[in-house]
Homo-oligomer: A and B are copies of this chain.
């Protein structure tokens, strides 16, 4: 089974189990809208890939951990899209939750998804109770204070923020949780896998900044030019587009190099390279530079 199929199946199963019976129907519909909308499922796939590299000896626990990460990610997207933040009308080419359902329901959807993430983790830990605390702690550090994704989002509300710190928290933290959860769910030490998550997470944020400049709204499925519009810290603003692309390539190389020795090392490296191409397609960069040539002196090494 492919990782994406495993991730989708685990999401469906755990979502229904954790939702229980008798909840408010519109809240449930809004939560489903937020979760089952064609996301790339990067975080759960990353968790599962690391677990496979660690022997995959507790696949049900790995699946629960993977789902809990994706639910946290979906919660953050719902809240980020709201008028108080990005005020985005579309996400993945569909109306955002507050547009499709209402602002109150979008607010509650995010809250309910955060809590559901913990419920999934609790329900999945049955056969391995001794691993629960470490997995819960790992999940919590990826989301909350002091350096999780909620803190990352909050750096946008400070008068000054370090770009690296902002990116590490806003996106990197949950990627680190993802690779660490893969190891923890197999009863192994998470530390060797943290750098892979950190480099990929930073690369993912840089890719987001790049696409916010060079993509069009149709291919991105959401509005573009949001960083400049909201005066948010952005690699493309700080380093220039050329610099951001070079930085992205460097991060992908570091991610690939960080993978610990294991039987799946080559497969994982290949996955990282494929993901890099999906995140910042060469064709998209080349197309952009062709049409925006005068604004950019010199060539750009699109090595990824």
Identify the interface centre among A21, A23, A106: most chain B CB within 10 Å of its CB: A23
* Given known contacts A18-B145, A108-B150, A115-B143, A24 and B136 CB-to-CB distance under 8 angstroms: no
Residues of B within 8 A of A20 (CB): 145-147
Q: Which of A49-57, A152-160, A272-280 contacts B (4 or more CB under 8 A)?
A: A152-160
Known: A24-B151, A79-B108, A111-B114. 20 other contacts (CB 8 A): A18-B145, A24-B155, A24-B157, A24-B158, A24-B161, A26-B154, A27-B150, A27-B151, A28-B145, A82-B107, A104-B157, A105-B154, A112-B150, A114-B115, A115-B140, A115-B144, A115-B150, A116-B144, A118-B144, A119-B137
The size of the chain A interface, using a CB distance under 8 A, is 56
The stretch among A2-10, A125-133, A180-188 that forms the contact with chain B is A125-133
Q: State how many angstroms separate the Cβ of A234 from the closest Cβ of chain B.
A: 17
Find out whether the CB atom of A157 lies under 8 angstroms from the CB atom of B105: yes
Determine if A103 is an interface residue (Cβ-Cβ < 8 Å): yes
Which chain A residues (6-39) contact chain B, with CB distance < 8 Å? 18-28, 31
Please give me the residue from chain B that is nearest to A82 by CB atom.
B107
B108 touches A25 (CB 8 A): no
Contact A144 B157 (CB under 8 A): no
Contact A27 B107 (CB under 8 A): no
Are B144 and A26 neighbours in the complex by a CB distance under 8 Å? no
Shortest CB distance A284–B (Å): 30
**Within 8 Å CB of A115, what residues of B?**
114, 140, 143-145, 148, 150
Closest CB of chain B to A204's CB: distance in Å? 20
Can you list 17 A-B pairs, Cβ within 8 angstroms, ordered by A?
A19-B146, A20-B147, A22-B146, A23-B154, A24-B157, A27-B150, A27-B154, A28-B145, A108-B150, A108-B154, A112-B154, A115-B140, A115-B143, A115-B144, A122-B136, A122-B137, A125-B133
A102 within 8 A of B: yes
Taking a contact as CB atoms under 8 Å apart, the answer to whether B112 and A84 are in contact is: no
Counting CB contacts under 8 A, is A288 at the interface?
no
